[in-house]
Amino acid sequence: MKRVLSFIALISICFVSAQDTYLHCGNIIDVATGKTESEKTIVVSANKIKSIQNGYVLGSASDTTIDLKDKTVLPGLIDMHVHMESEFNPQSYIKRFTNNEADVAFESTLNAKKTLMAGFTTVRDLGGSGVNISLRNAINKGIVAGPRIFTSGKALATTGGHADPSNGMKKSLMGDPGPKEGVVNSPEDAKKAVRQRYKNGADLIKITATGGVMSVAKSGHNPQFTLDEIKAVTRTAKNYGFSVAAHAHGDEGMKLAIIGGVNTIEHGSFMSEETMDLMIKHNCFLIPTISAGKQVAEKAKVAGFFPPVVARKALEIGPIHQATMAKAYKKGVPMGFGTDAGVFPHGTNAIEFGYLLESGIPLKESLKAATVINANLLDMADQLGQLKEGFLADIIAVEDNPLNKASTLENVLFVMKDGVVYKNN
């Protein structure tokens, strides 16, 4: 009996002495309202925010205190459009033939760490070879340091369309990829492809509703899915608990995707006012990715950086993209936040805030999009995107108040994800 009581006492002592972390925050931004509050203490217990208290509160001797008194603290940022498996450079296209799956995996771990260190504690990975699913799992197990990932696995395309994995290959290597490889040409194919993504372990579905810039294919904006195919994707996705993101540059393909029931439009470069109205009507969210448009247009001017067919599309789409985002914001199109990192260097995601500001979108609004709105789009509004009691402890700190200086977000000094400190400068 004494041994039993001693064991219970030991368990009680361990429970009582569990270590908490006290963050002394000079300023905290309430991203939901855009208000800044001073001199607060965030108490983190395990992987959640236990409380937020006025003043600089001290814990017990066993607790950890971190001094952020001269910093501005905010929730971890969420990027709704990244590609963790790669980072574009002049060798990217040849790597499709020389890299093994293991090579892709090792590279993806570096990209994941860069992203986390930049203050993006959650991302939505919209297309790769399927290694992105394994990367997500490795991060969740604590094997690799990286952001919380929601991934589509392999994006869905049509034959010859953006995300057809055989584009640009010689005829003897092209073959005829189908639903298993993420290529669909009928409503039946679409259903099977969605179910295959479910089997593979994806979190959501991505379709390439129009042509794209980076694929070795002629058009950057022609519609590539029929309405029936899109509806087959979205209806099947709903059955499996998936949301659907639609890559779309061209206007006609965007309309089909919105009418077909997708949840987000990625890029939206050539969006007309009529399509903007359609997005508002259907509460379909736009993920701007201005950074990608800017970066590829610049790289296209460098001889040999992209194949000629890609460079031509980049020079066409890049200059118009930011102006379209400005019009969409003024029109009232609902917007999230995403960058397309991987098309440009990982870890520099925060440059998007400056581009959005140039477009007339106040930092208060883009910061809310990168936290509160994105958390809602991920169906995680009760766990992510805000500094609130009971929420996951995803917390970052920067030197200045980003509401006054957007560029400060490009130099994140402190990163906590799930209650674990990954960076503290």
| Per-residue confidence (pLDDT) for residue 251, from 0 to 100 | 97
> 8 in a domain, yes or no?
no
| Residues 62 and 141 both lie in one domain | no
Position with higher pLDDT, 143 vs 17: 143
What value does the mean pLDDT of the chain take? 92
- Mean pLDDT for the stretch of residues 85-105: 85
Q: In the structure, what pLDDT confidence band is assigned to residue 122 with cuts at 50, 70 and 90?
A: very high
Asked whether residue 264 carries a pLDDT value surpassing 70, the answer given is: yes
- Between CA 259 and CA 265, with CA 264 as vertex, the angle to 5 degrees is 80
| Residues 372 and 396 both lie in one domain | no
| Per-residue confidence (pLDDT) for residue 220, from 0 to 100 | 76
Asked whether residue 183 carries a pLDDT value surpassing 70, the answer given is: yes
Q: In the structure, what pLDDT confidence band is assigned to residue 162 with cuts at 50, 70 and 90?
A: confident
Q: In the structure, what pLDDT confidence band is assigned to residue 4 with cuts at 50, 70 and 90?
A: very low
> 5 in a domain, yes or no?
no
Q: 145-157 pLDDT, tens per residue?
A: 999 999 999 999 9
> 104 in a domain, yes or no?
yes
| Per-residue confidence (pLDDT) for residue 418, from 0 to 100 | 98
Q: 106-115 pLDDT, tens per residue?
A: 999 999 999 9
- Mean pLDDT for the stretch of residues 164-180: 78
Torsion angle defined by CA atoms of residues 96, 99, 105 and 111, in that order, rounded to the nearest 10 degrees: -70
Round to whole Å and give the CA distance between 410 and 311: 28
- Of 30, 152, 143, the C-alpha closest to 80 is 152
| Per-residue confidence (pLDDT) for residue 16, from 0 to 100 | 44
Asked which of 16-25, 322-331, 332-341, 394-403 is least confident by mean pLDDT, the reply is 16-25
| Residues 304 and 392 both lie in one domain | no
For the stretch 104-117, what's the b/e string if a residue is b when 16 or more beta carbons lie within 10 angstroms of its beta carbon? bbebbbebbbbbbb
Round to whole Å and give the CA distance between 342 and 137: 20
| Residues 396 and 369 both lie in one domain | no
| Per-residue confidence (pLDDT) for residue 15, from 0 to 100 | 43
Counting residues of the chain whose pLDDT is more than 70, the rounded percentage is 95
Asked whether residue 327 carries a pLDDT value surpassing 80, the answer given is: yes
Q: 33-49 pLDDT, tens per residue?
A: 999 999 999 999 999 99
> 102 in a domain, yes or no?
yes
Q: 69-91 pLDDT, tens per residue?
A: 999 999 999 999 999 999 988 78
Torsion angle defined by CA atoms of residues 117, 118, 120 and 125, in that order, rounded to the nearest 10 degrees: -90
> 166 in a domain, yes or no?
yes
Structure tokens at 392: 């996951």
Asked which of 11-15, 203-207, 307-311, 419-423 is least confident by mean pLDDT, the reply is 11-15
Q: 275-300 pLDDT, tens per residue?
A: 999 999 999 999 999 999 999 889 88
| Residues 105 and 28 both lie in one domain | no
Q: 329-363 pLDDT, tens per residue?
A: 999 999 999 999 999 999 999 999 999 999 999 99
CATH number at residue 283: 3.20.20.140
| Residues 174 and 255 both lie in one domain | yes
pTM here is 0.94
| Per-residue confidence (pLDDT) for residue 198, from 0 to 100 | 98
How many distinct structural domains can be found in the chain? 2
Neighbours of 287 (CB within 10 A): 26
Asked whether residue 309 carries a pLDDT value surpassing 80, the answer given is: yes
Round to whole Å and give the CA distance between 186 and 203: 23
Asked whether residue 121 carries a pLDDT value surpassing 60, the answer given is: yes
| Per-residue confidence (pLDDT) for residue 176, from 0 to 100 | 80
> 3 in a domain, yes or no?
no
| Residues 307 and 408 both lie in one domain | no
- Mean pLDDT for the stretch of residues 302-324: 87
CATH number at residue 403: 2.30.40.10
Round to whole Å and give the CA distance between 200 and 113: 24
Domain that holds residue 391: 19-75+386-424
Asked whether residue 7 carries a pLDDT value surpassing 70, the answer given is: no
Round to whole Å and give the CA distance between 213 and 315: 9
Name residues whose C-beta falls within 8 Å of residue 20's C-beta, 6 or more positions apart in sequence. Answer: 43, 44, 45, 50, 59, 63, 64
> 9 in a domain, yes or no?
no
| Residues 264 and 302 both lie in one domain | yes
| Per-residue confidence (pLDDT) for residue 18, from 0 to 100 | 65
Asked whether residue 424 carries a pLDDT value surpassing 60, the answer given is: yes
| Per-residue confidence (pLDDT) for residue 306, from 0 to 100 | 85
> 2 in a domain, yes or no?
no
Position with higher pLDDT, 100 vs 390: 390
Name residues whose C-beta falls within 8 Å of residue 56's C-beta, 6 or more positions apart in sequence. Answer: 24, 39, 41, 69
Name residues whose C-beta falls within 8 Å of residue 277's C-beta, 6 or more positions apart in sequence. Answer: 331
SS3 category, 78: strand
| Per-residue confidence (pLDDT) for residue 210, from 0 to 100 | 96
Asked whether residue 97 carries a pLDDT value surpassing 80, the answer given is: no
